[in-house]
A and B are shown apart, each in its own frame.
Chain A
Amino acid sequence: MKASVEKKIIFGFLASVATLLGISLLSYKTIESSITAQSWVIHTHEVIAALEQGRANLTDAETAQRAFLLTGDERFFLDSSNAQSNVNGWLATLHQLTSDNPDQQKQLEELQPLVAQRLAYLDDRMELRRQKGLQAAADAVATREGSDLSSQIRQRLDEMRVTENQLLQTRRETQRADATIAEAWVGCGAVAACVLGLIAFLTARRDLKLRARAELDLQENRARLQSILDNMPAVIYLKDLEGRYLFVNRQFLKIDGLSNEQVIGKTIFDLTSREHAEKAQAQHQKVLTTKSIVEVEETTVCPDGPHAYLAVKFPICDAMGKLIGTGGISSDITERKANEEERKRLTDELQRHAAQLELSNKELEAFSYSVSHDLRAPLRHIDGFVQLLDKNASSSLDERSRRFLDIIADSSHRMGALIDDLLVFSRMGRSEMRRARVESDALIHEVVDSLHSDLEGRNIEWKIAKLPQVQADASMLRQVWANLIGNAVKYSRPRDPARIEIGCNENGEEFVFFVRDNGVGFDMQYVHKLFGVFQRLHRTEEFEGTGIGLANVQRIVLRHHGRVWAEGALNEGSAFFFAIPKQTIETKN
């Protein structure tokens, strides 16, 4: 870009010089030729004048001769001789003047003998006068030989004069034409100079405008940059190679309460403690020698206490890549550091809690295991030996004792069922989820089939809608359906016919499944107790159960990121709902 501008300038200059030089040369040439033509015109005038002079000289010689002839006065003889020598001189001059013109030279050569003869006649007549007197001379003159010659000479001179006049005409025209061309070239030169001058002026003016504009832009950019740098929360500075401040932003000045004048041109040694300054200077040197970025965390004591800064120090190069100094940007990270520490503290605490939780989970697992294995063994023994006793000694026992044995057996069964349900409940909270696409329809038919022993002798009107597929743990979801449908069957036992409806509604991002029955229902004021462990709204004699089923339902649905709730009215039936997200939420559990 720059090179091309320079090229343009050089090219323009050379073109202008060449144009003006060319025009000057042409002007010079035409003026010169015009001057030459002029000199030819002058020359022709000289020739014409010479021709006239010749005629006059001849006339002088003749006049003097006539005077001598008449008077015989020797003075006239002398005059005539002088005039004759003038005529001869004139002939030589004329010969010299017409040396450029062969035609005239030829004429002159023809003229010369005539003139010589004429002069000879003059001398001859004068000699006659002197020797034989006036009469003899007059007789000789009367032959008219002399005057004929004279006429011939004058005629020749006229012809030469005509030739010269024609030449004069031609040469004048040539000179005029040359002069016109010369004028034209000079005019061209003037116009070209004007045009080039105008171009130079316009170009210069445009450049000046652009430069002014660029300068304005630069100032604007600088102001913009300054305001950005000033309003940044970071401390920013630029230093030269020796560590003298070239620029600092407002934040820099604010920390120490200094003014720009107090900082620019100074080094860090002028501004802070020696110890701190030496550290900073060492970093400055490191940036210069490594030519790379140096990051340091620094602590600065401010009026409101110590502040932590993260300083990034970097080398600055000029446009040619030469190192000219360093710059630094320090961000106040006091708050971030505090946050980090707080977060670390919280994380540690969380980890401690997690560890504790894991520990108690392990304990719980061990407990469950022990319950599963050790608690069931004595129960089994109670039941086993009661049965054996009943078998061996029933005949020797009275009715009451046998009833006691029944109660013992029944109690052990109930406790066994409680332990089993509790274990299932505990397992549902701990076991890993295996999500997959689950066909709800198939699941429900499986569950209904498994209830066949409870359905014997029952009159139930089933109304089962078509149900969607869901992403869930199949065995857990089966547990949910088994509990809800089992409850519906159980609590509708007094009804004939019992009606059980199973369906699903879509609600935005979730499927809402429900099981509705026309059974004994419940009082809505106890609805909050439905999903609690060991919470029951009926006595065992009315409806058997351990009070864990719905707690299990809730636990499973929550693990699927869903919701459960129930609606009901005493003696009018109840409806249980659970909602499961359509999209799987990917989590560990």
Chain B
Amino acid sequence: MAPLKRILLAEDNERDVELTLAALDEHNLANEVTVARDGAEALDYLYARGKFTGHANGLPVVVLLDLKMPKVDGLEVLRQMRSDDTLRHVPVVMVTSSREEQDLVRSYQLGVNAYVVKPVDFQKFVDSVKQLGVFWAVINEPPPGAVKRA
């Protein structure tokens, strides 16, 4: 049986994916991550459709969303999640390079739970991702329907 994937990482840049996974790995959280390479894939996973049809992982405890992605961008994914009854309460963290005020404002208007700017410094980046992973996947009590670590 495939291990439960409880974190959804939506990130188009494969190097960022690799660095993020490396960071999470430092806290043994890498195995709990499902990677979507754009917004459309992220939605497919959340609705268990397309290439994720029939996955049995349930809802993730947190979605880490990149802002700028091909096809469907992070803000659009967030908007669709917040207008869907089942996905409304799933925590979403924007993890992005942008510190632009407009992005911040838009994200919070749409109901993001946290907004993290990826630091250029790798060590800081590792720290940030680690803290995120630990907080959302371990410390935070997810809404009903998400799979809690045993």
Q: Flag A213-249 by CB within 8 Å of B: 1 or 0 each.
A: 0000000000000000000000000000000000000
B79 to chain A, nearest CB (A): 19
A384-B125, A388-B22, A413-B120 known; A423 vs B99 contact (CB < 8 Å): yes
Chain B residues closer than 8 Å to A416, beta-carbon distance: 119-121
Q: Which of A381, A419, A427 counts the most chain B CB atoms within 10 A?
A: A381
A367 to chain B, nearest CB (A): 12
Chain B residues closer than 8 Å to A377, beta-carbon distance: 13, 15-16, 97
A423-B99, A427-B101 known; A380 vs B120 contact (CB < 8 Å): yes
Residues in B105-147 with C-beta less than 8 Å from chain A: 118-123, 125-126
Q: Give the nearest-CB partner of A375 in chain B.
A: B97
Q: B121–A383 contact, CB under 8 A?
A: yes
Residues in A349-374 with C-beta less than 8 Å from chain B: 368-369, 372-374
Q: B122–A380 contact, CB under 8 A?
A: yes
Q: A372–B100 contact, CB under 8 A?
A: yes
A387 near B: Cβ within 8 Å? yes
B56 near A: Cβ within 8 Å? no
Q: A386–B122 contact, CB under 8 A?
A: yes
Q: A372–B98 contact, CB under 8 A?
A: yes
Chain A residues closer than 8 Å to B125, beta-carbon distance: 380, 383-384
Q: Flag B62-91 by CB within 8 Å of A: 1 or 0 each.
A: 000001100000000000000000000000
Chain A residues closer than 8 Å to B67, beta-carbon distance: 373
A95 near B: Cβ within 8 Å? no
A377-B13, A388-B22 known; A383 vs B120 contact (CB < 8 Å): yes
Chain B residues closer than 8 Å to A369, beta-carbon distance: 98, 100
One of B19, B68, B100 near A381 (C-beta < 8 A): B19
Q: Give the nearest-CB partner of B67 in chain A.
A: A373
A57 to chain B, nearest CB (A): 159
Q: Which of A380, A386, A387, A409 counts the most chain B CB atoms within 10 A?
A: A380
One of A372, A383, A385, A388 near B99 (C-beta < 8 A): A372
A379 near B: Cβ within 8 Å? yes
One of B96, B101, B121 near A413 (C-beta < 8 A): B121
Chain B residues closer than 8 Å to A412, beta-carbon distance: 120
The answer for the CA separation of A369 and B119 in the assembled complex, in Å, is 16
One of B16, B22, B101 near A380 (C-beta < 8 A): B16
Q: Flag A315-346 by CB within 8 Å of B: 1 or 0 each.
A: 00000000000000000000000000000000
Q: Give the nearest-CB partner of B118 in chain A.
A: A380
Chain B residues closer than 8 Å to A372, beta-carbon distance: 97-100
Q: Which 9 A-B pairs have the closest CB atoms?
A: A416-B120, A387-B122, A384-B122, A384-B19, A383-B122, A376-B97, A373-B97, A381-B15, A373-B98
Q: List 23 A-B contacts (CB under 8 A).
A: A369-B98, A372-B97, A373-B97, A376-B120, A377-B13, A379-B120, A380-B97, A380-B119, A380-B125, A381-B19, A383-B122, A383-B125, A384-B22, A384-B122, A386-B122, A388-B19, A413-B121, A416-B119, A416-B121, A419-B120, A423-B99, A427-B100, A431-B101
Give me the interface of B with A, judged by CB distance under 8 Å.
13, 15-16, 19, 22, 67-68, 96-101, 118-123, 125-126
Given contacts A377-B15, A386-B122, A415-B120, 5 further A-B contacts (CB under 8 A): A369-B100, A372-B99, A380-B119, A383-B122, A416-B120
